[in-house]
Amino acid sequence: MTGSSLHTRVLNEIGQSIVRGDLLPGDPLPNADDWSAAHGVSRTVLREVIKVLAGKGMVESRPKIGTRVRPRRDWNFLDPDVLLWRYGGRTTAEDARALFELRRAIEPTAGALAAERATVAEIKHLRDLLVEMERAGDDGARFAVPDLAFHQAVLRMSGNELIGSLAALIETALVISFRLSDDNPQGQSHSLPLHQQVVDSIENRDGAAAGRALVSLLDGAEEDVKRALAARQR
């Protein structure tokens, strides 16, 4: 394996073990020699992995104490790796709820601002994405691509650079929430009327209606995810 792939493998193994709770907050990581031997990598690779985990707020290293797992409140849960480690295994209804609470805190406000500030070209782009979703029908994997682009576009159309930057920041969260609903037996096309309402409200410069449509859209998506998770458990 290349140095890069080794680094990625060890990062994922240690990161997942922390998120799973194999290592609890306050627990020390085994010494570098033991970890190097266990994972078949050099101490240099291991040191780089520890630096990355420290940057995500998951571990801290102190002289004479070593490296320990930090409390969960210090972790950067919006970090793409941390999100994937958290949702890569068995996802609970509580995990899904956290995702949609994040989206409800951001997207309706972005939609209301988009109704004030969106350009004609930006609105046309949303309508083009609607057409792609219609063509995808109930093919969840195909539908998710324009759906992701749609929600990211609304964030950017807010005209607020800070909110627009969240489009990239929460991309992994969006993708995870879409994937959780991929196997919804009702498919995804039932959400098209609400997507249409979002676009119409933005075009009509009705910020309140755009925000309400997005809340309804997210409520429906969360119900889809709950049904999909229940089906998996059965």
pLDDT at residue number 185: 59
For residues 5 and 56, the answer to whether their CB atoms sit within 8 Å is: no
3-state secondary structure of 2: coil
Which residues in the chain come in under a pLDDT of 70? 1-3, 89, 181-187
Give the amino acid at 149: A
For residues 108 and 211, the answer to whether their CB atoms sit within 8 Å is: yes
Q: Which CATH number fits domain 91-233: 3.30.450.40, 1.25.10.10, 1.20.120.530, 2.40.110.10?
A: 1.20.120.530
CATH fold for the domain made of 3-74:
Arc Repressor Mutant, subunit A (1.10.10)
pLDDT at residue number 1: 52
Nearest one of 189, 181, 187, 196 to 227, comparing CA atoms: 181
pLDDT at residue number 37: 79
Q: Is it true that 3-74 and 91-233 share their CATH fold? A: no
Query: What are the start-end ranges of the E strands in 40-184?
Result: 59-62, 66-69
Domain residue ranges in the chain: 3-74, 91-233
* Cα–Cα distance list, 41 to 38, 45, 85, 146 (Å): 8, 6, 21, 41
Give backbone dihedrals phi and psi of 59, rounded to 5 degrees, phi first. -135, 165
pLDDT at residue number 182: 62
Please, what is the Cα angle at 13 between 178 and 69, to 5 degrees? 100
pLDDT at residue number 186: 64
